[in-house]
Structure formats: C-alpha cells, structure tokens
C-alpha cells in the first residue's frame, strides 16, 4: 500500500474518532464489588425507597404538558425548574456531549484496546468548535428548525505521523423524522491535497476497531426516547486508572500550564464541584430511556440507563441493553468545569471510556488543554469552511496534550459492572471467560490480557 493511501486511511480513522469527546467501587450490604474495597452501606434507591424530600424534586406521574407548536417537545422552557420529569432530565443530559456545547478549542487523544492487549487506532488532534454567539448548547438545538445548522467543528490531526496535517470539518444539524441528516463531514489529506465530502456515518454501526457508534460519539436526541425515573444512586468511581499509571499530565487551556496529577485523586466532577457528599460521592438520578419506535424502529440499543448528576444532569455513567435485553455496553466519564461562566451547564468531558461487552474492546477519549473561544464573524466564516482546510494552517499550536495512553499496560481498566445495583432493572449475564478476565483484572489492579 502506498504512503499516500496509508495516510488517507489513518486520516479517516482519526476523523471518526474525534468525538468532537479513583475511588473504590461500591458493593451492597458490605459485600465486595468486583474486587474493590468494601462499602458497608447500600448507595442506591428505587423510586419507592426515595424520601419525601427527594420526591419533591421530581415529577413521577401525569402527562407532561407539550409544546404548542412542536408536540414532541416539553412545554416548559429549557433548562426547566423543579420538579423535573425524567424526560426533562434527558433533555438536560443532552447538554453534555463529548464535543463541548460552546465555542472552544481542545486537544483530543484517543485509542482502543483489544482483549489481546493491542492498541488500536491511537491518535491526537486539535479540535475547534464554533456556535452562533447568540445561542449555544441545547438552547440552540431546541430553537433551530429541522435541517438547520447547529454548530461546526474543525479538527486538525497531530498524530499518528501518517495522519499529521490532515483535517476534517463536521457540520451538525437539527433533525426530526423528515430531516434525518445529523452531520455532514469534509476531510482533507495533505498526501493527496484534496478535500473530500464524506458519506454520512451509519449512526447505529460501530466505528472500525472501536467500542462505540456515532450516536455514542456525538450524542442522542432526547425526543427519540421515552423516559422513566428508576431511582437514585451515589457514585464513587467511573473511569478506572490502572495501578501502572499513578500520574497523568494535564494541561490548562486558559493558563497553558501543565501539571502532574495523581490519578487516584481525580474527582468525578472536578475540583470545584460543590455537591460532593461527605465521603466524596456524587448523587445521581438513574433514568431509563426506551427508543420510541416511531422515531427509531429496530434501534440497535433499544434500552439505555443513565446515571445523571443531580444538579447539572451530567451523565457520569451510561449502560446500553441490546434487543435481547442483555447488557452490551458501558460508558463512564470524568467531568471538569471547563466553562465556569455557564455555571452548571459548563461541565465538559475530561475522560470518557467505552466498553463493548460483546467484543471486549474498549475505547477512550481525553479532552485536554480546553479553552473557551469567542470567534469573530469573519474568523468563523474563513476557518470553518471546506476551502480553509487546503491552506493547512494550524489555528493554535499552543493547544497540546500529554495525557494519551502510550502503552497497553497503562490502559484504563474495564468499568465496574456493579451487578448488585437495581437487580430488577439490570439483567447482567457475563460469559465465563469475561468474568474470568474481570476477576484477573481486579486482582492485578490493571488490565490482564489474553495469554498473559
């Protein structure tokens, strides 16, 4: 295969992968959860077990009033006020896709890993996002007409070497039942010096050698699902660093300063989050989303569960259940307050880890060196267009990251299954070989690969 063809293939993989996106596990009744430290208390409650104070913050029964012009939207103005319905929680969670919901620049690194310990598709890019300065986030989504543009995202490849100099532009659209194109993409390869208009990705198909689909990477629309409150839970752990990676280097986008961080001290919602419990947990609503057949017939993951932080509704954990009802996919995140001016809507994804239980492939993304941007109209017109990519200009070379996983031994551990929680809601049947891998991993404190 020629060098130019190799570079084109790597660029395509990199374009796919830009999603623009430790505290011990919790057991029940004093039992050890997957080899993690024991916690004596039960952290989760069903709706029937919630206190009167908790129930006062939610609306469980009755039909939610509908929007006068758009029947599939709630009538209440976004971002809603208590008491919240489960549907409104789903709309709030839309705010937190791996791509930021405001104009920004960020350094992305990603990779996958196979059960044999082989790193797949590693890459790094700088990603620029541009929203209309008047309206951003879910407010922009809800105010846009179907088919209207929501935002643009321009990415420039830094690694691997074969992809360096490549660029790709994504244009995100508002959709409904008739206007179904969610994203339009253009890619530029320095080896062929051409801009290619790419065919749309199939939203339900996994990316090659990846543990996720376009819906996982760029978010789902709440109106395509029906919502139900399952209960509450307190999370103490999401993304799990191995004991072979005691530190990670992170970079502040606004300050440009790098800092070495103890991975054991990285908190679920960042350092400034004001709502941690006394023992460092994060209180969450647990909600169910069922694909609505009139919107998503034969959807590949018809049932989803989300753990949404109670004040911001940031999704710290997600589970996907296949057509057979079995658990197929777990996604976990670590958040950071990237945009303090937006208060609770300013949280972004620092680390995200996906695990496909069918293949035992895992994928991760880190968003590092984040910086809020205020693009001038003339800048946005020039930079966020297919023609700009031919110039091969790098908009900001100060945006960098050193947080990538460089060796299989330092890769993130599989997310905790925590099978004791909500047993009537979560059918989990792990194959014996998978259970053995999990047991070996937890005993070693790191991934244990096939044949090792």
Tell me the residue length of the chain: 452
* pLDDT at site 252: 83
Please determine, for residue 236, whether its predicted confidence score (pLDDT) is greater than 80: yes
Single out the residue of 385, 396, 421 nearest to residue 231, CA to CA: 421
Please determine, for residue 10, whether its predicted confidence score (pLDDT) is greater than 50: no
Residue 163 belongs to a domain: no
**Of the given ranges (10-14, 185-189, 214-218, 234-238), which has the lowest mean pLDDT?**
10-14
Please determine, for residue 351, whether its predicted confidence score (pLDDT) is greater than 50: yes
Q: Residues 92, 310: contact at Cβ < 8 Å?
A: no
Please determine, for residue 373, whether its predicted confidence score (pLDDT) is greater than 70: yes
Residue 6 belongs to a domain: no
Q: Which domain range does residue 71 map to?
A: 25-106+115-121+203-444
Please determine, for residue 133, whether its predicted confidence score (pLDDT) is greater than 60: yes
Question: Mean of the pLDDT values across residues 422-428?
Answer: 95
Please, which pLDDT band fits residue 271 given cuts at 50, 70 and 90?
very high
Pairing of strands 183-189, 303-309: unpaired
Please determine, for residue 60, whether its predicted confidence score (pLDDT) is greater than 60: yes
Please determine, for residue 76, whether its predicted confidence score (pLDDT) is greater than 80: yes
**Of the given ranges (35-39, 276-280, 324-328, 424-428), which has the lowest mean pLDDT?**
35-39
* pLDDT at site 189: 83
Question: Mean of the pLDDT values across residues 167-179?
Answer: 96
Please determine, for residue 280, whether its predicted confidence score (pLDDT) is greater than 70: yes
Please, which pLDDT band fits residue 39 given cuts at 50, 70 and 90?
low
Residue 135 belongs to a domain: no
Please determine, for residue 287, whether its predicted confidence score (pLDDT) is greater than 50: yes
* pLDDT at site 383: 93
Torsions phi, psi for 173 (to 5 deg): -120, 155
Please determine, for residue 14, whether its predicted confidence score (pLDDT) is greater than 50: no
Task: Record the pTM.
Answer: 0.91
Question: Mean of the pLDDT values across residues 256-279?
Answer: 95
Question: Mean of the pLDDT values across residues 206-229?
Answer: 95
* pLDDT at site 451: 54
Q: Which residue has the higher pLDDT, 398 or 451?
A: 398
Is the peptide bond preceding residue 128 cis, with omega within 30 degrees of 0?
A: no
Residue 428 belongs to a domain: yes
Q: Which residue has the higher pLDDT, 27 or 40?
A: 40
The tokens 């374009």 sit on which residue? 15
Question: Mean of the pLDDT values across residues 372-395?
Answer: 89
Q: What share of the chain is helix, strand, coil (3-state, %, to 5)?
A: 20, 30, 50
* pLDDT at site 393: 74
Residue 177 belongs to a domain: no
Please, which pLDDT band fits residue 415 given cuts at 50, 70 and 90?
very high
Give me the chain's average pLDDT, please.
89
Residue 381 belongs to a domain: yes
* pLDDT at site 255: 74
Q: Residues near 174 by Cβ (< 8 Å), separated by ≥ 6?
A: 141, 144, 145, 146, 147, 148, 149, 150
* pLDDT at site 1: 43
Question: Distance between CA 276 and CA 294 in Å, rounded?
Answer: 40
Residue 275 belongs to a domain: yes
What are the tens digits of pLDDT across the range 187-208?
998 777 889 999 878 888 899 8
Residue 15 belongs to a domain: no
- Number of domains forming the structure of the chain: 1
* pLDDT at site 32: 37
Alpha carbon separation from 379 to 106, 136, 166, 178, 335 (Å, rounded): 17, 18, 20, 33, 29
Question: Mean of the pLDDT values across residues 240-248?
Answer: 97
* pLDDT at site 40: 59
* pLDDT at site 38: 45
What is the tally of helices (H) and strands (E) in the chain? Answer: 8, 16
């Amino acid at each position: 295969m020629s060098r130019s063809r190799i570079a084109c293939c790597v660029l395509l993989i990199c374009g796919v992968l830009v999603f623009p996106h430790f505290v011990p596990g919790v057991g029940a009744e004093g039992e050890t959860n997957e080899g993690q430290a024991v916690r004596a208390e039960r952290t989760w409650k069903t709706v029937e077990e919630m206190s009167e104070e908790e129930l006062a913050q939610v609306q469980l029964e009755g039909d939610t009033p509908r929007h006068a012009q758009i029947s599939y939207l709630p009538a209440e103005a976004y971002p809603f006020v208590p008491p919240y319905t489960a549907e409104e929680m789903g709309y709030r969670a839309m705010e937190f896709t791996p791509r930021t919901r405001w104009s920004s620049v960020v350094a992305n690194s990603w990779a996958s890993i196979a059960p044999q310990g082989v790193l797949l598709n590693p890459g790094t890019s700088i990603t620029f996002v541009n929203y209309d300065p008047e309206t951003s986030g879910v407010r922009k989504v809800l105010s846009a007409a179907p088919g209207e543009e929501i935002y643009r995202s321009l990415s420039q490849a830094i690694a691997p070497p074969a992809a360096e100099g490549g660029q790709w532009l994504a244009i995100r659209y508002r959709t409904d039942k008739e206007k179904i194109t969610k994203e339009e993409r253009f890619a530029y390869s320095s080896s062929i010096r051409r801009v290619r208009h790419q065919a749309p990705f199939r939203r339900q198909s996994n990316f090659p050698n990846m543990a996720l689909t376009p819906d996982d990477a760029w978010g789902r629309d709440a109106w395509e699902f029906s919502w139900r409150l399952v209960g509450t839970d307190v999370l103490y752990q999401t993304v799990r660093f191995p004991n072979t990676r005691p530190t990670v280097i992170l970079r502040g986008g606004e300050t440009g300063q790098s800092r070495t961080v103890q991975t054991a001290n990285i908190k679920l919602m960042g350092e400034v989050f004001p709502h941690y419990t006394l023992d460092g947990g994060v209180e969450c609503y647990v909600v169910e989303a069922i694909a609505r057949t009139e919107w998503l017939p034969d959807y590949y993951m018809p049932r989803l569960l989300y753990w949404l932080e109670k004040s911001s509704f940031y999704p710290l954990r997600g589970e996907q259940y296949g057509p057979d009802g079995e658990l197929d996919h777990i996604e976990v995140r670590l958040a950071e307050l990237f945009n303090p001016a937006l208060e609770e809507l300013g949280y972004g994804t620092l680390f995200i880890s996906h695990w496909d239980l069918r293949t035992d492939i895992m994928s991760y993304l880190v968003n590092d060196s984040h910086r809020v941007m205020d693009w001038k109209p003339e800048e946005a017109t020039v930079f966020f267009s297919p023609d700009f990519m031919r110039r091969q200009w790098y908009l900001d070379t100060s945006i960098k990251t050193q947080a990538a996983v460089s060796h299989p031994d330092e890769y993130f551990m599989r997310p905790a299954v925590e099978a004791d929680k909500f047993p009537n809601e979560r059918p989990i049947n792990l194959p014996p070989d998978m259970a053995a891998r999990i047991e070996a991993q937890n005993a070693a404190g790191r991934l244990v690969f096939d044949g090792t």
